[in-house]
Amino acid sequence: MGWADFKAAFVPFFLAMGVTLGGGLLGSFGQWLAGQPEINPALIAYRIRIWAVAMAIGGTLTVFEQLEQHLTSRALGDAGKTALLVGVAYLGAEIGFWVVAWWSQGRI
């Protein structure tokens, strides 16, 4: 794995982080506009983390099918790259959640 692989991992990281940040903040704002009881933005961000990861990696099933194909064909380098993308996307979603929780001072 070289620098190009790490540069390619920036995109899913920031996509997942942006979806989590935007979903948490805009979801809470939308509930306020609708006149519904206020909900903690951190709770919304916590609930949409998995969807942020799925969006960032381009659909969950295709990525896991690729991972299975790489493992069965013993292409461990390619399997590592695919696993790295999933892990980095999850890390981005988690960091997005923690930023929303810190910003809103919410506790789960």
Report the range out of 15-24, 33-42, 83-92 with the highest average pLDDT.
Answer: 15-24
pLDDT tens figures, 14-33: 999 999 999 999 998 888 89
Neighbours of 2 (CB within 10 A): 6
DSSP for residue 107? -
pLDDT at 11: 87
User: What angle is formed at CA 55 by the lines to CA 87 and CA 102, rounded to 5 degrees?
Assistant: 70
CA gap 63, 87 in Å, rounded: 12
Structure pTM?
Answer: 0.80
